[in-house]
Amino acid sequence: MNHLNNSRNLSTQFQTTLKKPVSCSGVGVHTNAKVSLTIAPAEPNSGIIFKRIDLGFDAEIPALVDNVIDTKLCTVLGSNGYGGNLRVATVEHLMAALFGAGIDNAIVQIDGPEVPVMDGSAEPFLFLLECAGKRTLNAPRKVIKITEEILVKEGNSIARITPSETFEITCSINFDHKLIGKQVIHYTAKENFKDKLSSARTFCLESEILKMRAAGLALGGSLSNAVVFSESRVLNEGGLRFPDEPARHKALDLIGDLYLLGTPIIGHIETLRAGHSINHKLSSFIIKNRSFWSLIDCPKQIVQPDAPLVAAASVA
């Protein structure tokens, strides 16, 4: 057993990684490219790193806000080199699963341009991480503690963060569609990410599909990996997993996009009509404005090195 160092401060959380690699394969929801993915352990302070193994040994993209190159219907990471091909799309569901499982360090080896969509949620990735198990590392976990209110706007979308003693989000959506309409979801770090958010699937309107495909998007989308709303009903067999599944998925996307900050957050994030673009705008503001937050050791270490992984956000 890999015992804790007795000199460590037991009031502080410590960084984690996976116990062993886990793999999956599938298609990209936008590219329809068949891709295989392996999530492997990483050293302390590595963060999450995507590695395009089909391009070359050093084709790496750290999963950080500064490496976001596109936010149209998904979050895309990219870096210079390889003729502009060093990019990985639709990272948000996997990033949300890593956050929800409390994984700080991992290498994501992928042999194509987009993370497989799986069933359109974070649940399959969370299952993989549970199978891998979690190992605590001998390095303190850092967290961004919000100290001043932050407000960003983009069109009719709004995102705000206010100081709080824990991580919490409130997502509000308002769709001009009778089956969606106005929905609000609230989530805190004290709740179970797996049960409340992880299985909420991405969604779209049937009327938008042709337009998306004409723009080269949603080429791999189907009823097996997205919820589709017609004018009068949900087209998926079995319907919705939750009455407010769209709002829950927006919260899932928000968590995945915010984890590109490289650390968890202690603060209350509120969004109205949010999407990947304003999520990125909010994260970029945080990175560029250090006076609104402080970087501290994450409090309340309770996880032992060889304890089973519990899929709940372990912040404060």
Q: Which residues are catalytic?
A: 276
Taking Cα atoms as reference points, which of 314, 315, 309, 313 lies closest to residue 127?
309
The residue type of 187 is Y
In this structure, what are the phi and psi dihedrals at residue 66, rounded to the nearest 5 degrees? -65, -15
Phi-psi group of 179: left, alpha or beta (phi > 0 → left; psi -120 to 50 → alpha; rest → beta): alpha
Contacts of 21 (CB under 8 A, 6+ apart): 38, 39, 40, 41, 132
Q: 204: helix, coil or strand?
A: strand
Taking Cα atoms as reference points, which of 302, 284, 33 lies closest to residue 154?
284
CA Rg value for the chain? 19
Taking Cα atoms as reference points, which of 259, 266, 263, 272 lies closest to residue 293?
266
